[in-house]
Structure 1
Amino acid sequence: MDEVQAGPSPETGDGSEPEQERGGLRRFLRRMASSKAELEAEDLQKASGEEGATPITACAARKRHCVAGTLRTVTLRPRGGAPALEAELSDGTDVINLVWLGRRKIAGIDPGRRLRAEGLVSVQDGRKVMFNPRYELRGGS
């Protein structure tokens, strides 16, 4: 009697389930094991990358960069006696403070809003800061 040996599967070439099913299962299990914060950070990184922005963690001081992410907080803080609107932008890799000097309010600059900003990055008290950046509002809040 002839023995039939199980050979490689035509879909994968290695005798296991198709590659798409393995990748989908792996992705599902990773998402199930991740915390909400990790999933949000991953989504932010993906969205920022699609916008052609530099990851905030890679931004060097005293260089111009374009960053994109979601505004976490927006506060009014006086600087040197003048009003200054400060917003904390997160892209999942790091956080940068955006500061508009002389402004009390800017329409559309609200927590949860997606934003793309461009300007000179500086570091103050160990935090990355961009003063009076050019910005584009993205998607709804």
Structure 2
Amino acid sequence: MPTTGYLKRLTRRLTEDLGDADAVEIAEESRATGAQRAAECCRGDEVTMHGELRSVETCSRTAKAGVKAEFFDGSDTVVLKWLGRNRIPGIEPGRKMTVRGRLAEHDGTKIIYNPYYELQSPDDE
């Protein structure tokens, strides 16, 4: 019966955690672009990842001035850090993008310093 399958999918969509659903969607989109998964990358790897910015903050009053963003690709979180910048146009929470750079690790957190990035057009989202 096609109705049973539809009801099952509808029930699952209504009851599943929104974060999990979002992670699956982002992971599928990342896989479609051919990007690497953050969970499978190690320190020192040259990586290309596709995902979404979850948060962005400016650290201008410390010795470590710059823009810091939390990037999520559906598998893991990576911190993106642009040194010496107060603001970067287009770098805002919810924005999807592709980033390239060398993966580092600091206190157990994956981080890319001064990554190359390509913003996805808001029309494509």
TM-score range for the pair, normalised by the shorter chain length: 0.7 to 0.9
**Residues of 2 paired with 1:37 and 1:86: CA distance?**
22
Task: Map residues 1-141 of structure 1 onto 2, 5 A cutoff.
Answer: 17=1, 27-78=9-60, 81-140=63-122
Sequence identity of aligned pairs in percent?
33
**Residues of 2 paired with 1:123 and 1:44: CA distance?**
23
**Residues of 2 paired with 1:79 and 1:65: CA distance?**
30
Higher relative contact order (CA 8 A, sep 6+): 2
Report the more deviating stretch, 124-133 or 25-34: 25-34
Larger Rg: 1
Is contact 2:71-2:79 (8 Å) kept?
A: yes
TM-score (norm 2): 0.85
Shift of the alpha carbon at 1:81? 2.0
Residue ranges of structure 1 left out of the alignment (5+ in a row): 1-16
Residue ranges of structure 2 left out of the alignment (5+ in a row): none
Shift of the alpha carbon at 1:63? 0.7
**Residues of 2 paired with 1:49 and 1:22: CA distance?**
30
Give the helix-richer structure, 1 or 2. Answer: 2
Give the residue type in structure 1 aligned to 2:43: A
- Assess, with a 3 A threshold, how the Cα gap between structure 1 residues 81 and 118 changes in structure 2: closer, same or farther: same
TM-score (norm 1): 0.76
Shift of the alpha carbon at 1:80? 6.8
Give the residue type in structure 1 aligned to 2:23: A
CA RMSD of aligned residues (A): 2.2
